[in-house]
Amino acid sequence: MLFLDINETDFDTRFAAILTRGEETSLQVTEVVRGIIKDIRSSGDDALLEYTNRFDRLGLADAAGLEITAAEIEAAVAAVPADDLAALQLAVERVARFHEKQKQQTWLSTEESDILLGQKVTPLNRVGIYVPGGKASYPSSVIMNAVPAKVAGVREIIMVCPTPGNEINPAVLAAAKLAGVDRIFRVGGAQAVAALAYGTASIPKVDKITGPGNIYVATAKQLVFGQVGIDMIAGPSEILVINDGTGNPAHIAADLLSQAEHDELASSILITTDRGFGEKVAAEVERQLALLSRESIARASWDKFGAVIVAGSLAEAAAFSNRIAPEHLELAVADPFGLLPLIDNAGAIFMGHWTPEAAGDYLAGPNHTLPTGGTARFFSPLSVDDFVKKSSIISFSEQGLKRLGDRIVQIAGLEGLEAHARSVSLRLEESK
Amino acid sequence: MLFLDINETDFDTRFAAILTRGEETSLQVTEVVRGIIKDIRSSGDDALLEYTNRFDRLGLADAAGLEITAAEIEAAVAAVPADDLAALQLAVERVARFHEKQKQQTWLSTEESDILLGQKVTPLNRVGIYVPGGKASYPSSVIMNAVPAKVAGVREIIMVCPTPGNEINPAVLAAAKLAGVDRIFRVGGAQAVAALAYGTASIPKVDKITGPGNIYVATAKQLVFGQVGIDMIAGPSEILVINDGTGNPAHIAADLLSQAEHDELASSILITTDRGFGEKVAAEVERQLALLSRESIARASWDKFGAVIVAGSLAEAAAFSNRIAPEHLELAVADPFGLLPLIDNAGAIFMGHWTPEAAGDYLAGPNHTLPTGGTARFFSPLSVDDFVKKSSIISFSEQGLKRLGDRIVQIAGLEGLEAHARSVSLRLEESK
């Protein structure tokens, strides 16, 4: 863990390791993934079945076995305690209610009497949701991907989730059912992404793929981008806490560890205007680390990518935060709304001392799929916007074309595009 | 040119060549571009200068010469006839007025008294606009990329435009000035994209890169995606006209050719419920082709990727259009608004007989940067949305955390994330 003053002369140098912790995809991984995509495109289900049996240690005889049946889903739902189902249902409802507010309407401007202009908003037809398998198979990931798609009006939601050793978390299947997923396939990795992007006999081709995954999944998503839409390129995740010396150091320490326990590459940073507070948080982190069952992961993350930074002012802390563009930003200060206008780049902003990051991870309502690794400079949280597309609407009347036609012909001429000009001038001639 | 009935049994087979005309980026191009990006990252301005001098046949002595000066821009503006400046100014104003309507506000929901939830909308800080050089250097491209950025509130707009043989279209520089571009560099190709994505001593690093370009530019944009945002992956462009036998065949022919004159890979398709009308359009295309100075390009496009298709009904035509997901869709029918609800996938929709595609290319208001090659299934026109990003706002009061905290702890437990649970339970204990 680094304990630094932001105004030390070598701050940037010492901090650089944290900023660049996201490994770039190696050419080797890219080549492997490219090969898998090629196989799926050329051999479809045969390749998908072979990769799935091999990587997930399954013994499926044919492609029909790739789909998880309604009976299997019902059995999983029955296996989840009723009180856990109620918690997941609450999450689905609250996430749906928040995302409803993101819906945009088709609009048409009538401010010119002779030209109507507008924008049509249309749900995507079919989307694919990637849900990791094994230990990191979380019901909340299902909810955060499927609910916005459902709210957007997507006609069919296809979920893929690998089942290594034929195991799957029943809560994941229950969440899929509660969130409105239409079909589920027991496939994962680059082969699942390729199957969704290009379609196979058993897996329908989708318009967009969302959801987290390992480096093979992320690389596959990047390679199929353009063939289908994707949500974002995910990197290692992080939390940044801005503090003004108010609040409880034990709470802040717990928040930092809630990020660190995810992943050894996760980064947890406190920037405070109060050195003494920072020291107390550092001590609390050490104390709480020992209590965690995921201690080794959290400790590796904290040791290597944790930091406590002392800033001269909250404005300085906000400027630092904007440079980091953190996935999760806690404004653990007395007046968080006063600080909000200074925040340019962040995935989600957690306001004040009663809003730990975990409050946003499951059921506050906003999405937990957030831009990581500094990409909050330009990416947004997953939202209903990801599951619709827009079409411009342009409607000229005869009068409208007469009013603007000469200028259109003029610019077409300026660009040397005669046929463009003629398509307008022919109509203007007829209109005379 | 294909003349087909949509219900012929071999329709799909015969039509397939048009659908798959977009060549995939070859591994060779990818390797070249990867090498250029690597050079720019490791050698910055030195590499940029060397590539620029080599590819654009310039003799710049140092990196300072990469920027186009204010004096050069003023000279270009002075060289453009006043009436052309007026036409470009009209385009800037109308495009700005349309894009103003796309602006979204930061919102905060107060429907729960103990939990505030919202979404902050923040302009990107700095963006890069790629404008092709040479013959396809169009002032309208500058306007369509820069104006939405400006309307969004982007703080700094950097334009790059190669100047092969040291030539640049003065109208392009004038458009940049009118549209509010802040700085312009005479660089292009993959090296320009890499410089914008990673920054060099002279070119500032941006948050997002938009704008059209050749296969090297498109490949570079795909490879830097994630490091920066990009607008979309552009492929060959197309127009689809849906017709019901009404209107003037000469007009429709002109519209088809306005797409064909762009590029030999462009595709122009008419689908009509009236075979006789289709035959007249085909004859008109032949007649008008001979009148074009860009005849050879337009003829190559029409011969190879042009089509006239006879459909049984407008509903059938709309379903076909949704499969194609055309960049430009003309509803050249008597009742275009009646047909609009059937249209799911299209970049821009041109309504009725007085709205040729060219009406939308310059100054109607909507953007002419549109999803191509079937990607309107999931991509949207370039818009203000491309130049902002969002951050979720989550603000729990003590009462709010007490109300939902147990459920948060429960789901964290379900996912095996102890530190997540503790960050909430520690606060609940204190609150008792």
Out of B84, B125, B361, name the one closest to residue A377 (CB): B125
| Contact yes or no for B244/B258 (Cβ under 8 A) | no
For A229-293, strand residue ranges (E) read 229-230, 238-243, 267-272
In the set A328, A330, A353, A368, the catalytic residue is A328
**Cα–Cα dist B239/B18, whole Å:** 12
pLDDT for residue A363: 96
pLDDT in tens, B325-358: 999 999 999 999 999 999 999 999 999 999 999 9
Average pLDDT over residues A187-206: 98
- Taking the domains of chain A in order of start, what are their residue ranges? 2-22+235-365, 27-230, 397-431
Question: Are residues B115 and A418, on separate chains, in Cβ contact within 8 Å?
Answer: no
Beta bridge partners of B269: B240, B307
- Segment A406-421 mean pLDDT: 94
pLDDT for residue A24: 66
Are B381 and A396 in contact (CB < 8 Å)? no
Which of A358, A401, A423 shows the shortest C-beta gap to B254? A423
CA-CA distance, A70 to A207, in Å (whole number)? 24
**Domain A2-22+235-365 sits in which CATH superfamily?**
Nitrogenase molybdenum iron protein domain (3.40.50.1980)
Q: What is the pLDDT of residue B170?
A: 95
Q: How many CB atoms lie within 10 A of CB A20?
A: 11
CA B159 to CA B129: how far, in whole Å?
A: 5
Asked if residues A165 and A187 have their Cβ atoms less than 8 Å apart, the reply is: no
Q: What is the pLDDT of residue A32?
A: 96
CB count, 10 Å around CB of A119? 22
- pLDDT at A25 (0 to 100): 67
Dihedral angle over CA of B68, B71, B75, B76, nearest 10: 30
The CA-based angle B389-B103-B361, given to 5 degrees, is 105
For A247, left (φ over 0), alpha (ψ -120 to 50), or beta? left
Percent share of chain A, pLDDT over 70: 99
Please state, in angstroms and rounded to a whole number, the distance separating the CA atoms of residues A380 and A378.
7
The reply to whether B167 belongs to the active site is no
Per-position DSSP letters for B166-209, written without gaps between them: G---HHHHHHHHHHT--EEE---HHHHHHHHHH--SSS---SEE
Q: A279-330: per-residue pLDDT in tens?
A: 999 999 999 999 998 899 999 999 999 999 999 999 999 999 999 999 999 9
Catalytic residue among A327, A353, A357, A368: A327
Find chain B residues with C-beta within 8 A of A379's C-beta: 229, 389
Confidence label for A23 from pLDDT (cuts 50, 70 and 90): low
Of A254, A257, A366, the CB nearest to B117: A366
Helices (H), A56-158: 70-79, 82-100, 139-152
Mean pLDDT of chain B: 95
What does the pLDDT look like over B257-290, one tens digit per residue? 999 998 899 999 999 999 999 999 999 999 999 9
Same fold, A2-22+235-365 and A27-230: yes
pLDDT of residue A400: 97
Q: Give residue B237's pLDDT.
A: 85
pLDDT recorded at residue A287: 96
Per annotation, catalytic residue among B238, B261, B284, B327: B327
DSSP state of B309: E
Mean per-residue pLDDT, A243-269: 95
Residue A27 pLDDT? 82
Nearest to B411 among A362, A390, A411 (CB): A362
Q: How far is CA B283 from the centre of its chain?
A: 33
- Using DSSP's 3-state secondary structure scheme, residue B61 falls into coil
Chain B residues in contact with A343 by the CB 8 A cut-off are: 120, 122, 391
pLDDT per residue as tens digits for the range B218-255 = 999 999 999 999 998 877 889 999 999 999 999 999 99
Task: Tell me what pLDDT residue B18 has.
Answer: 83
Q: Is the dihedral of CA B74, B78, B79, B82 positive or negative?
A: positive
pLDDT of residue B236: 80
pLDDT of residue B162: 97
Considering Cα of A87, then A88, then A93, then A94, what sign does the dihedral take? positive
pLDDT band at residue B291 using 50, 70 and 90 as cut-offs: very high
Tokens encoding A259: 């990020």
Helices (H), A101-155: 139-152
Nearest to A210 by CA among A127, A136, A143: A127
Residue A124 exposed, middle or buried by CB count within 10 Å (0-12, 13-18, 19+): buried
Indicate the burial class of A428 (C-beta count within 10 angstroms; 0-12, 13-18, 19 or more).
middle
What are the backbone dihedrals phi and psi of residue B243, each rounded to the nearest 5 degrees, phi first?
-135, 150
Using CA atoms, how far apart are residues B370 and B117, in angstroms rounded to an integer? 33
Catalytic residue list contains B353: no
Q: Using 50, 70 and 90 to split pLDDT, how confident is the model at A90? A: very high
Q: What is the pLDDT of residue A291?
A: 92
Is A113 annotated as contributing to ligand binding?
no
Separation CA B306–CA B112 (nearest Å): 57
Res A234: pLDDT? 77
The structure tokens listed for B130 are 């790629």
Chain B residue numbers touching A419 (CB-CB < 8 A) = 254, 257-258, 260-261, 288, 292, 294, 298
Confidence band for B25, pLDDT divided at 50, 70 and 90: low
Answer whether B391 sits within 8 Å of A381, measured CB to CB. yes
Chain A residues in contact with B413 (beta carbon < 8 A): none
Phi-psi region of B5 (alpha: psi -120 to 50; beta: other; left: phi over 0): beta
Give this complex's ipTM.
0.96
Task: Identify the pLDDT of residue A12.
Answer: 87
State whether A90 and B407 contact (CB < 8 Å). Answer: yes
Contacts A424 to B, Cβ<8 Å: 356, 358-359
> Cβ(A274)–Cβ(A245) under 8 Å?
yes
Looking at A227-241, B118-132, B308-322, which range is the least confident one? A227-241
CATH architecture of structural domain B27-230: 3-Layer(aba) Sandwich (3.40)
Among all chains, which residue has been given the structure tokens 């060779």? Answer: B28
CATH 3.40.50.1980 for domain B2-21+235-365, yes or no, is yes
Contact A393 B124 (CB under 8 A): no
* A380 CA: distance to closest CA in chain B (Å): 5
Distance of alpha carbon B145 from alpha carbon B149, whole angstroms:
7
